[in-house]
Chains A and B, each alone.
Chain A
Amino acid sequence: GDSVTQMEGPVTLSEEAFLTINCTYTATGYPSLFWYVQYPGEGLQLLLKATKADDKGSNKGFEATYRKETTSFHLEKGSVQVSDSAVYFCALHYGGSQGNLIFGKGTKLSVKP
């Protein structure tokens, strides 16, 4: 079945370091791909998305490119801040009657000053 695999955390970085969180997926069709973020004490919120191959999603300095050839959607940020400390979830979605998001297990990021 369809699934999403993320790198296991926790990931600990110093402020201004470069961030990569790996995400790969297994899909029978052509899903849209998402990154959701859960800040401490808050609900999940959409960070960015890409709906087709080679699309790049970006928001708040984060980027991810939909790579069909490697079935990947890695999250990157050039310079992390303490406020980026959160749990990041990669997800895929087909739409139509299959409404649910399929999530990875999440990667906890801690950024130290």
Chain B
Amino acid sequence: GAGVSQSPSNKVTEKGKDVELRCDPISGHTALYWYRQSLGQGLEFLIYFQGNSAPDKSGLPSDRFSAERTGGSVSTLTIQRTQQEDSAVYLCASSLGGGTLGEQYFGPGTRLTVT
């Protein structure tokens, strides 16, 4: 079946602009996660959704970052007023939920470059 998909695959934006990143999880997966992967920081957790609710937003680095999930499916991560330190690969993952939350299926990522 179809895996987790993300769009765009690459995004180059100017400092100060807003960007939206999209994630389509595996159908039927109730849990959805956003991570950020950068050379210096490794894999950082950003936010976790169970259904449309976000019980854990602890990883969002600043109030410029927000995310939503609608219909228990698609999620968008929005970064406002982008800064150069936001440059990274943004990964989305989904899982069935329940006892399998740790078994996460990752998308290919969106590479964000802020110039």
Contacts and interface: CB of A to CB of B under 8 A. Distances in A.
Interface extent on B, as a size class?
A: 20 to 34
- Majority-rule SS of A interface residues: strand
B45 A44 contact: no
Contact of A93 (B3, B91, B102, B106): B102
A32 B33 CA distance: 18
B61 interface: no
B104 A101 contact: yes
Nearest to A31: B102
B42 A104 contact: yes
Given A34-B102, A100-B45, A101-B102, A43 B56 contact: no
Interface residues of A, number: 24
A52 to B, nearest CB: 12
A25 interface: no
Contacts of B103: 34, 46, 49
A73 interface: no
Contacts of A95: 99, 101-102
Q: Closest 3 CB pairs between A and B?
A: A93-B102, A99-B48, A100-B45
10 contacts: A32-B102, A36-B106, A43-B4, A43-B109, A45-B106, A49-B103, A93-B102, A99-B50, A103-B43, A106-B43
Interface of A: 32, 34, 36, 42-46, 49, 89, 91, 93, 95-106
Given A43-B3, A102-B45, 5 more contacts: A43-B91, A49-B102, A95-B101, A98-B56, A103-B42
